[in-house]
Chains A and B, each alone.
Chain A
Amino acid sequence: MTNPVDVLPTMVFALTRPLAELPETLRLPSLDWSLLFAVSGRHTVHQIGARFGVSPQARDAAFARLLDAGWIVERPLTAAEFQAARARVTADEPVTLAAFLADEPPFVPLEPTLPEDAMAAVIPLVPRRRLSLRSLMANLSEGAATPEEGQMNVYRLFLRLDSNELQRHGIKTLRFEDDRFVDDPDLQEQILTAYQATFGRPCPASVFV
């Protein structure tokens, strides 16, 4: 579990997948749904929390749950974006006495950290996927007449990949029964490209978990 203190008011989160692609069976607390629907990739934790009038503790705990579950991911900020975000966070996020007594949150306009055209690229709304090398190797061995043929299919794909890049991701050797995952989107893309180039067909989505 992510510790709630890991969530800072200046953080900006983005969705890891479009809302329409969330599992139909997903069940979340009401607050988590509220925050999830407000995550834009442009607004800070502080801004979103203030909009819903939720305490920083409850807000951070909810964001931590969403982060842990993989529904959101932190979007790295440029220095200018961070400064803009920080400027919008009041010290210790105090609540006025009037607001406290009235049980109303302080008014915080939900303006984005920076105008869209001045922002660094936002994390694309794609699912956070893991590529299973075991599934990939199993796919390449399907229909092979012998184990060696399946192994050579795997080798033919991997010899198209940059060995330095593989090593950078901790893949120095690969046994054909290894159960390993590739999380890096760039390396995933290289594997998909190599698959297409080697076998003349797209890599099946079943290699992703």
Chain B
Amino acid sequence: MSDLPLGQQLQHFKQITLDYFAKLTPDDGPVLEAPYLQFGDCALLDYASLVRISGDYEGVLYLTSPVPMLGHLLALHGEEEVSQRTLADMCRELSNVLSGNASRAFGQDWRISVPVSMSAAELRELTLPPSSYVLPIRWRGTTAFLVIGLVVAAGAPS
């Protein structure tokens, strides 16, 4: 069993993810919109940064972002070119951030996979948990989704 309740781990994970954006633009920090549960199709935008997690539950954590948001991030990192290559690079950067955040928030009790970055089309090819927790993050006029998709791990206590 996890030492920390899942809710506290989520709160920690959410906060350090928000901190990432807030540090980039202290005067124009991200705004959280009301979270919700989604059943069936997963929330997917243009790109996604994903890690797999396993513990009492198994599943994925991913941040899916639209191209304009990645474009803003590229500009903040001094990259003026917005192309498939640079967008993929930015997505990889976010994957590393996400992985680090996931390790800090969940690492004590969960196994965290190597991060991967992919396009929405590639993400659709994956088998993702059918029920997910979606947290919209609004930043600079664009919205990304921080998504947690879990299933009960086989053999986990009920």
Q: Which residues of A contact B (CB under 8 A)?
A: 144-146, 148-156, 158-161, 163-164, 166-167, 171-177, 197-198, 200
Contacts and interface: CB of A to CB of B under 8 A. Distances in A.
24 contacts: A145-B5, A145-B7, A149-B5, A149-B6, A149-B8, A150-B7, A151-B35, A152-B6, A152-B133, A155-B131, A155-B133, A156-B6, A158-B39, A158-B131, A159-B152, A173-B36, A173-B37, A173-B39, A174-B37, A175-B34, A176-B34, A176-B36, A177-B34, A198-B158
A155 B152 CA distance: 11
A144 B14 CA distance: 17
Interface of B: 5-8, 10-11, 14, 34-40, 57, 129-131, 133-134, 148, 150-152, 158
Nearest to B5: A149
B11 A149 contact: yes
Contact of B11 (A148, A154, A155, A161): A148
A158 B5 CA distance: 17
Nearest to B37: A174
Contacts of B148: 155
A163 B131 contact: yes
A21 B24 CA distance: 63
Nearest to A161: B131
A171 B36 CA distance: 12
A64 B151 CA distance: 46
B14 A148 contact: yes
Contacts of A171: 39
Given A152-B133, A163-B131, A158 B37 contact: yes
B150 A159 contact: yes
Question: Which 6 pairs show the lowest CB-CB distances between chains A and B?
Answer: A149-B7, A163-B130, A152-B7, A163-B39, A148-B11, A174-B37
Contacts of B152: 159-160
Contacts of B11: 146, 148-149
A144 B7 contact: yes
A177 to B, nearest CB: 7
B35 to A, nearest CB: 6
A166 B39 contact: yes
Contacts of A154: 37
B36 A175 contact: yes
A52 to B, nearest CB: 49
A139 to B, nearest CB: 15
A167 B40 contact: yes
Contacts of B131: 155, 158-159, 161, 163
Contacts of B10: 148-149, 151-152
A90 B2 CA distance: 70
Contact of A152 (B5, B36, B129, B158): B5
A31 to B, nearest CB: 46
Contacts of A152: 5-7, 10, 133
B29 to A, nearest CB: 19
